[in-house]
Structure 1
Amino acid sequence: MTRLPDPARSRVVLVGTAAYHAKDLSDLPSVTNNVNALAEALTDAANGGFKPEHCVRLRDPADPRDVSRALRNAAAQAEDTLVVYFAGHGMTGPRRHDLFLCTSDSDPAELALSALPYEHLRDVVLDSPANNRIVILDCCYSGRAAQDLMGDAPGVLDQLEIAGTWILAATPANAPALAPQGARYTVFTGHLLSLLTGGLHGGGELIALPDIYRQIRREMTASGMRPPHQRGTDTVDLLALTRNPAYDPGSDVRDPAEWIRSQLHAVPTDAETAPPSGPRVGPATRFESGLRGLVRRAFRRTPTNPLYPIELLHGIQDEVVERRIVLDGFILVPNRYVLGLSPFDWSRLSPYHEALTKELVAWLAEYVAEQQWRVWGELSIVIEVDPRLTTGRIRVVSRIEPGS
């Protein structure tokens, strides 16, 4: 069940570098607004999940050791939740592509001596006794860099992962894209603040971490910007940073077909749920229509679910296309499909497993018929929990069961 942090046992460190002395690092005035507004949102008396006295703001730190001391103090005190946020310039080293977070006195020619290595931040967070660790990075490389934070530089994404931690990383291409001139906030943090202070309409009482990622990803992608990346482990997906200011108990009951229609063009979370090279065809729309027969309350609070039912359909279609074979002039596809979900997704979808599998079987039968393919036997689809999966991912396994 999604919950807020324990305010007395949680700590927040917000670091923002807006002014730089190095000529190769442009100033980012909106970063100061980021830190102040985010602190207010997280410690808001009505909706925030943290106490103001446990939220440290570091604005324009000159020495990376100042950042290190603040991180180590907060990490040692946090027992329930530790949140670390950094906004400013991020750069990678010339050889090993190590990630560095720049302070006001950072020199791009001497990153190892003048900037904070992300590896150090990672170690401090990893050593914290906190049950939940959240790292939010709103940084990019300077205009001279060839790649952004989550680009093709080997090892950068792997550096970000910390066991038991949820990490959200913005990936703008350069400083102007990160902080447009005259904007009050950087682009990524602006979307984050809009969600935390304006709320998620149609969502639940709390804004869970996967909700934050999904909503920001959707908004940034719709605006033609590079979407953020996330990594999460263990049960940190069940945590929220704030209450949902837009929560309306009446929105728990809504037309499931209407909601599914709004998700038909949702961006897949990653390669495991991305669409295949072939086109999506008519049965997907009819799958949506078939959901009209479900009980209205079956989709209670589904808009906040990290995994959308339409992605199950796409996952099955990918598997069908991949596993089809030609035999005696006919194209044959497997008849038995197992949908593996993370424990979190399986639990949240459990009230309507039966209804979903029924509609998915009907869709698959129609899809195969329209393609003029044949099935080895009677179609069946089951939904199972797969503890190896993280929230938002699915795994589809198919096999042939003759005579079933």
Structure 2
Amino acid sequence: MSVLPDPGASRAVLVGTSRFEYLEPLPAVANNLRALADLLCSPLSLQLPAQHVTVVEDPAAAHTVVGAVRQAAAEAGDTLIVYFAGHGLVDAQDQLVLALPHTEFGRVETGLPYDWVRQVLLLDSRAERHVVILDCCYSGLALGRMSAGTGLADQAAVEGSFLLAAAAETRTALAPVGETYTAFTGALLEVLRRGIPGGPALVDLGVLYRHLRLTMEARGHPVPQARDRNSGAQVALGRNHADLPAAPAAAAGADAAERLWPDPRAIRTVTGFFTALAEVRVVSGLTHRAVSERSAGRMAGGTVGALLNRSTLPATWGTTAVYLSACGVPDEQITQWQTAWQQLRAQNLSAKTASPEVARDGGGPEKDRAWQRPLSALRRRRDH
């Protein structure tokens, strides 16, 4: 079953190299990073908090990228997304090397071996699921050669993962001159922004991959490759915005039961609780006023907005239950929501009674390094 990650327990590291000393520049990559970072934080996708999206643009050295991935891997409890866009090279052992600004042809030691990133995900990650997206030439090498034995192919994978590559192991990726984005990332952004007409309610990685293959093939572009492990294909990157409800869900009945409501069992954080709570209204097709009207006077329109804009859990359950019922969520799922609320309340109380020295979320001197910029810093730099 497809599932949207809890944004409070998920992280994304977006790496891109657009300027090179020895290789051809790729100006579209800088646009890729900004657009994908904005999208992951928006209601069109995962609604990640800005501080959970780290952008590493034109990294000076391999360790800057590995360090950013390692920190995100230590912080993520749900899903970790790692994206790279730029030139891809092949070393003497037929392995993928990600190009950095000072990378030279024939000198792979000046690049970043993809295997270094893979080892961080294998050894240092707390995340239950990993999503790796590679928009570079020969990116299919990360999946393992199709002609290689099973052992080699298995070594190229990460448990609980989905790896999406822009091109096969022997193909170059495409960055059309004059286009805003590279061909692959442009198609990826298009799907998440517009949705898939006639597609499922959630755009999970399996659906996304199949749609991208058809789209890229029809355009005469390199065809992407993918590898799934332990149901990694069921991780969704957003709702299908071509399939949002045109009519409100009934307060009860088959129509409400059949809708793909956010799964409260996937909630791990307070951020995830309120993100999913807001998604309930989107799925219902109701406005704030309509939710109020369906609550039979138990909830004013302003109260709906106040509930969805909270940053702390309600002290009592009643208002949330009224909201879910008015949106049309089936009773058995409302019980699951209450369980999620109770678990989060218990965690909060436990955290308050304990008094270890806990670092600020994402804090510490590592966060202040120039090579690791959260989305908010990227926006500030772009605005000046």
Partner amino acid for 1:3?
V
Following superposition, the deviation at residue 150 of structure 1 comes to: 7.4
Report which of the two structures shows the higher radius of gyration computed on alpha carbons. Answer: 1
1:137 matches 2:134: yes
Deviations 1:278-306 (A, max 9, x none): xxxxxxxxxxxxxxxxxxx9xx99xxxxx
Partner amino acid for 1:126?
L
Q: Matched residues in 2 for 1:189 and 1:242: separation?
A: 16
Following superposition, the deviation at residue 236 of structure 1 comes to: 2.0
By percentage of residues, which structure has more strand?
A: 1
Following superposition, the deviation at residue 16 of structure 1 comes to: 0.5
Higher RCO structure (Cα 8 Å, ≥6 apart): 2
Equivalent residue for 1:197?
Answer: 193
Following superposition, the deviation at residue 207 of structure 1 comes to: 0.8
Q: Matched residues in 1 for 2:153 and 2:141: separation?
A: 11
Identity over aligned pairs, percent = 41
What is the RMSD of the two structures over their aligned residues, measured on CA atoms?
A: 2.7
**Alignment match of 2:212 (pick from 211, 216, 219):** 216
**Alignment match of 1:27 (pick from 25, 28, 45):** 25
1:229 matches 2:225: yes
Does the aligned pair in 2 maintain the 1:191–1:216 contact within 8 Å? Answer: yes
Ranges in structure 2 where 5+ consecutive residues have no aligned partner: 248-254, 260-384
Following superposition, the deviation at residue 161 of structure 1 comes to: 1.6
Does the aligned pair in 2 maintain the 1:101–1:118 contact within 8 Å? Answer: yes
Does the aligned pair in 2 maintain the 1:87–1:139 contact within 8 Å? Answer: yes
1:14 matches 2:14: yes
Equivalent residue for 1:333?
Answer: none
Aligned pair in 2 of structure 1 residues 118, 151: CA closer, same or farther (>3 Å)? closer
1:125 matches 2:121: yes
**Alignment match of 1:73 (pick from 71, 93, 111):** 71
Does the aligned pair in 2 maintain the 1:85–1:135 contact within 8 Å? Answer: yes
Q: Matched residues in 2 for 1:12 and 1:168: separation?
A: 15
Q: How does 1:108-187 map to 2 (within 5 A)?
A: 108-112=105-109, 114-127=110-123, 128-140=125-137, 160-171=156-167, 178-187=174-183
Does the aligned pair in 2 maintain the 1:49–1:241 contact within 8 Å? Answer: no
Following superposition, the deviation at residue 250 of structure 1 comes to: 6.2
**Alignment match of 1:54 (pick from 43, 52, 55):** 52
SS in 2 for 1:109: coil
What is the TM-score with the length of structure 1 in the denominator?
Answer: 0.56
Following superposition, the deviation at residue 224 of structure 1 comes to: 2.2
Aligned pair in 2 of structure 1 residues 225, 158: CA closer, same or farther (>3 Å)? farther
Aligned pair in 2 of structure 1 residues 248, 153: CA closer, same or farther (>3 Å)? closer
Q: Matched residues in 2 for 1:107 and 1:154: separation?
A: 28
Q: Matched residues in 2 for 1:130 and 1:168: separation?
A: 18
1:91 matches 2:78: no
1:2 matches 2:10: no
Q: Matched residues in 1 for 2:219 and 2:79: separation?
A: 32
Q: How does 1:342-357 map to 2 (within 5 A)?
A: none
Following superposition, the deviation at residue 37 of structure 1 comes to: 0.5
Following superposition, the deviation at residue 151 of structure 1 comes to: 9.7
Following superposition, the deviation at residue 4 of structure 1 comes to: 0.9
Aligned pair in 2 of structure 1 residues 13, 241: CA closer, same or farther (>3 Å)? same
How many pairs were matched up?
Answer: 245
Partner amino acid for 1:52?
A
Aligned pair in 2 of structure 1 residues 149, 187: CA closer, same or farther (>3 Å)? farther
Does the aligned pair in 1 maintain the 2:143–2:163 contact within 8 Å? Answer: no
Following superposition, the deviation at residue 72 of structure 1 comes to: 0.6
Q: Matched residues in 2 for 1:201 and 1:132: separation?
A: 27
Q: Matched residues in 1 for 2:44 and 2:117: separation?
A: 31
Following superposition, the deviation at residue 237 of structure 1 comes to: 2.2
Equivalent residue for 1:43?
Answer: 41
Does the aligned pair in 2 maintain the 1:58–1:67 contact within 8 Å? Answer: yes
Ranges in structure 1 where 5+ consecutive residues have no aligned partner: 252-296, 302-404
Partner amino acid for 1:230?
A
Q: Matched residues in 1 for 2:174 and 2:155: separation?
A: 22
What is the TM-score with the length of structure 2 in the denominator?
Answer: 0.59
Following superposition, the deviation at residue 154 of structure 1 comes to: 6.5
Q: Matched residues in 2 for 1:169 and 1:148: separation?
A: 9
Following superposition, the deviation at residue 197 of structure 1 comes to: 0.9
